[in-house]
Amino acid sequence: MRVLVLGSGGREHALAWKLAQSPKLTKLFIAPGNPGCEEVGECVDLDLCNIPAVVRWAKLNGIDLVVPGPEAILVEGIVDAVREAGIRAFGPTKSAAELEKSKIFAKNLMRHHGIPTADYAVFERHEDAKNYLDSREDGPVVVKADGLAAGKGAIVCKNLAEANAAIDRCMLSSEFGDAGSRVVIEECLRGEELSVLALTDGKTIAPLASSQDHKAIYEGDTGPNTGGMGAYSPAPLMTPKLMDSVISKVLVPTVHAMNADGRRFRGVLYAGIMVTGAGPKVLEYNVRFGDPETQPLMMRLDSDLLELMVAVCDGKLADQEIKWKDDPAVCVVMSSAGYPGKYKKGDAISGLAEANALPNAHVFHAGTSKKKDTILTSGGRVLGVTALGKDIPAAIKNAYAAVDLVSFDGAYFRKDIAQKALSRL
């Protein structure tokens, strides 16, 4: 099969790396990809904003399966367009991608179907949001821009003064553009977060191994949120009992609710879960693989990813069994100085070959570019250094041994990735 992966981050490198191992693969393209993707396939310079051009290219090049990575193209309807051209596309249609595109849609769906989530109210007018805050007792709340905001649209506020400022950022200064013109104000949940990803063809739901992300920039989960500074799998917090509860209270009702709404969901359903004293509650849905969760997940996946993706597209997921390596995996993200704020680009990266030569380690590229034979930094999150180990402490040790071999000017990484898991072993 000829496969086209769309995207250029660490998630796409990890998906491409795993797809490249499939005996069913004859040719792998990644558009636009990154220098890491070139190790496993051919990078093609396509503009993903131009969906008709992507579809034309896929048709001309005899592509059998298109795998879109980022949410932006899913909500723009890449899957609908690729399918109309008679090519398989792994992911939700535009109408099913609404689950990530609109937090209001997602919250209302959860409310109507009894799916556990934080209590909330929706506002379309600045004045109404302010009046609502005035009517509340002071305390923490979360203000969320309704639309896509590159992971920055959820503002956790310690008190009502911060919440008022967050409302102004969304609805007055339009910091998130149209995405912030409507907001959700919700109860602040306490607990530990888990990422639950599941493949689904709209009938069968096959959860992937559990994982946990580290969203804050600094150690101890402090500082502003980022796209994710590291991840590990499996997460010991996810007991079999908790997984059963997430399946029965979240995954199954969500897939049913989407069907009932005429928005059959196919692809990866990602539920961000807060494990609270009152059980698991949904923080958000994503309609694609997580980044950086995908990096450790792909290193642990023993099954053929291409076969699984085709089964999802063809509505035959029930015939598949997903197998995992027992060994845990840990991914440490190395970022540019200044990220998630303004950061510098264009610094040479050294030690990649040495890190990749370590047994059980792999360096997934995210924000990199290539000039002659030198790999340069070109984004906020630069690399996802990932390693397997016989247990979580060993995987941590292996990942950081690989990190120690890689360097670039101003490289930053958290030193406590997966530490939270240790207290539960």
Residues forming contacts to ligand GLY in the complex (CB under 6 A) are 151, 213, 228, 286, 290-291, 293
Q: Shortest distance, CB of residue 347 to ligand GLY, whole angstroms?
A: 25
DSSP string, 133-164: HHTSPSS-EEEEESS--TT--EEEESSHHHHH
Pick 228 or 296: Cβ nearer ligand GLY: 228
Q: Which does 290 bind (CB under 5 to 8 A by kind): ligand AMP, ligand GLY, none?
A: ligand GLY
Which of 9/202 has CB closer to ligand GLY? 9
Q: Residue 295 in contact with residue 231, Cβ under 8 Å?
A: yes
Taking the complex as a whole, the smallest distance from the CB of residue 24 to ligand GLY amounts, in Å, to 27
Q: Which residues, 6+ apart, have CB-to-CB distance to 228 below 8 Å?
A: 213, 214, 215, 290, 291, 292, 293, 333, 381
State the amino acid at position 298 in one-letter form: M
Q: Which residue is nearest to ligand AMP (CB)?
A: 154
Task: Tell me which residues in 84-123 interact with ligand AMP (CB under 6 A).
Answer: 118
Q: Which residue has the tokens 């034309």?
A: 56
Report the distance separating Cα 113 and Cα 96, nearest Å. 16
Look at strands 120-123 and 183-187 and give their pairing. antiparallel
Of 272, 280, 380, 384, the one binding ligand AMP (CB under 6 A) is 272
Residue number with the shortest CB distance to ligand GLY? Answer: 290
Residue 366 interacts with ligand AMP (CB under 6 A)? Answer: no
Task: With both helix axes pointing from N to C terminus, report the angle between 10-19 and 305-313 in degrees, rounded to the nearest 10.
Answer: 100
- Rounded to the nearest whole angstrom, what is the least distance from the CB of residue 233 to ligand AMP in the complex? 17
The option from ligand AMP, ligand GLY, none interacting with 146 (CB < 5 to 8 A, set by class) reads none
- Contacted by 291, from ligand AMP, ligand GLY, none: CB < 5 to 8 Å by type: ligand GLY
Q: Residues touching ligand AMP: how many (CB under 6 A)?
A: 15
Looking at the DSSP assignment, which residues form a beta bridge with residue 213? 231
3-state secondary structure of 9: coil
Among 64, 98, 100, 193, binds ligand AMP (CB under 6 A): 193
Give the shortest CB-119-to-ligand AMP separation in angstroms. 9
Provide the minimum distance between the beta carbon of 231 and ligand AMP in the complex, in angstroms, as a whole number. Answer: 12
Nearest one of 241, 236, 270, 199 to 395, comparing CA atoms: 236
Cα–Cα distance, 418 to 233 (Å, whole number): 9
Least distance from ligand AMP to the Cβ atom of residue 37, Å: 27
d(CA 196, CA 173): 34
154 binds, among ligand AMP, ligand GLY, none (CB under 5 to 8 A by kind): ligand AMP
CA-CA-CA-CA dihedral for 249, 251, 252, 256, to nearest 10: 120
Q: In this structure, are residues 343 and 412 in contact, taking their beta carbons and an 8 Å threshold?
A: no
44 near ligand AMP (CB under 6 A): no
CB nearer to ligand GLY: pick between 81 and 230:
230
When binding is defined by CB under 6 A, the residue of 31, 48, 171, 189 that contacts ligand AMP is 189
Work out how close the CB of 310 gets to ligand GLY at its nearest, in angstroms, rounded to a whole number.
Answer: 24
Instruction: In whole angstroms, give the CA distance from residue 37 to residue 328.
Output: 23
Contacts of 268 (CB under 8 A, 6+ apart): 91, 197, 198, 199, 200, 208, 287, 288, 289
Which residues, 201 to 220, sit near ligand AMP by CB under 6 A?
Answer: 215
Q: What are the DSSP E strand ranges found in 314-404?
A: 329-335, 361-365, 368-371, 374-377, 381-388
CB of 143 to ligand AMP, least distance (A): 10
By the rule CB under 6 A, 142 interacts with ligand AMP = yes
Considering the rule CB under 6 A, would residue 188 count as an interface residue with ligand AMP?
A: yes
Q: Which does 293 bind (CB under 5 to 8 A by kind): ligand GLY, ligand AMP, none?
A: ligand GLY
- Which positions from 153 through 182 interact with ligand AMP, judged by CB under 6 A? 154, 156
Nearer to ligand GLY, 294 or 378 (CB): 294
Here the tokens at position 342 are 């303004």
Q: How many Cβ atoms are within 10 Å of 308's Cβ, its own excluded?
A: 21
- Residue 286's binding partner among ligand AMP, ligand GLY, none (Cβ under 5 to 8 angstroms by kind) is ligand GLY
Give 362's contacts (C-beta < 8 A, 6+ positions apart): 17, 299, 356, 386, 387
Binding site residues, ligand AMP, CB under 6 A: 118, 142, 144, 154, 156, 186-189, 193, 215, 225, 272, 283-284
